[in-house]
C-alpha cells in the first residue's frame, strides 16, 4: 500500500498501535488518568479503523481483483 492514497491511513493506524502499546505499558503502575487516556485512545482508534481505514482498504482490494 505504499505510495497509495491509503498509505496515510495505514500510517495513522500504525501510529495508533504504537501509542496504545506505550499506554498499555504505563498502565502497569497507572492511575485513573492513564486508564482513562488509554480507553479514550482505544475507542478513537477502533472508530478510525472501522470508519476510514477498513473501507479504504476494501475499496483498494476490490479494485485489485
pLDDT by residue (tens digit) across 10-59? 999 999 999 989 888 887 776 888 888 889 999 999 999 999 999 998 98
pTM of the entire predicted model: 0.63
Between CA 6 and CA 54 the distance in angstroms is 10
Contacts by 54-59, CB closer than 8 A, 24 or more apart: 56/5, 56/6, 56/9, 57/1, 57/6, 57/9
pLDDT by residue (tens digit) across 13-26? 999 999 989 888 88
pLDDT score, position 11: 92
Amino acid at each position: 500500500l505504499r505510495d497509495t492514497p491509503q498509505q496515510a491511513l495505514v500510517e495513522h493506524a500504525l501510529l495508533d498501535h504504537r501509542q496504545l502499546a506505550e499506554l498499555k505499558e504505563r498502565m502497569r503502575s497507572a492511575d485513573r488518568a492513564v486508564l482513562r487516556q488509554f480507553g479514550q485512545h482505544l475507542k478513537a482508534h477502533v472508530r478510525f479503523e472501522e470508519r476510514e481505514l477498513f473501507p479504504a482498504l476494501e475499496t483498494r482490494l476490490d479494485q485489485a481483483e
